[in-house]
Amino acid sequence: MIKEVAPLMKQHKSCSIVNIVSVYGFLGAAPVLAYTSAKGGLITMTKSFAKELAPEIRVNAIAPSNVNTDMTIGAGKELIEFFKKETPLKRIAEPNEIAKAALFLVSDDASYVTGHVLVVDGGYSLK
């Protein structure tokens, strides 16, 4: 999709792309090997596109851990409690917290940020 929209985006003065990856792209997780591998690939792809599309387009990513979504809820109450226990902030993220990170990355406040993966995980990846 990035390859398709990049030529159109380059026609504008300042553009930004934000990919959603996962801290599991850094950490890995055996039970979800395909998921973590795909997210790891997206991290590398984000950095590669940041180099390829600069200076017209900034490309960054957000790496959340567990977010209060249908996917996380589907993991079951026991696993959610485990995630909360293992997270220094003792909770999982709300979707609006990830949205606020995306708004920052597309804003002028992040005008000198490209190729970055913003980890929004309540400290989960500090293990």
CATH code at position 93: 3.40.50.720
Q: Where does the pLDDT of residue 71 fall: very low under 50, low under 70, confident under 90, or very high at 90 and above?
A: confident
Instruction: Dig out the tokens for 45 from the structure.
Output: 């792809």
- Per-residue pLDDT averaged across 24-28, rounded? 91
The pTM of this model reads: 0.92
- Which of 63, 121, 115 has its CA nearest to residue 94? 121
- Per-residue pLDDT averaged across 4-16, rounded? 90
Q: Indicate the number of domains in the chain.
A: 1
Please give the residue range of the domain that contains residue 38: 2-8+15-126
- Which of 16, 35, 13, 15 has its CA nearest to residue 24? 35
- Per-residue pLDDT averaged across 40-47, rounded? 98
Contact 36, 27 (CB under 8 A): yes
Q: Provide the annotated active-site residues.
A: 35
* Mean confidence (pLDDT) of the chain: 94
Is the pLDDT reported for residue 13 higher than 80? no
- Which of 30, 107, 19, 20 has its CA nearest to residue 67? 20
- Per-residue pLDDT averaged across 99-124, rounded? 97
Is the pLDDT reported for residue 103 higher than 90? yes
pLDDT at 101: 98
CA distances from 123 to 47, 54, 93, 98 (A): 23, 30, 11, 14
CA atoms of 127 and 122, how far apart (whole Å): 12
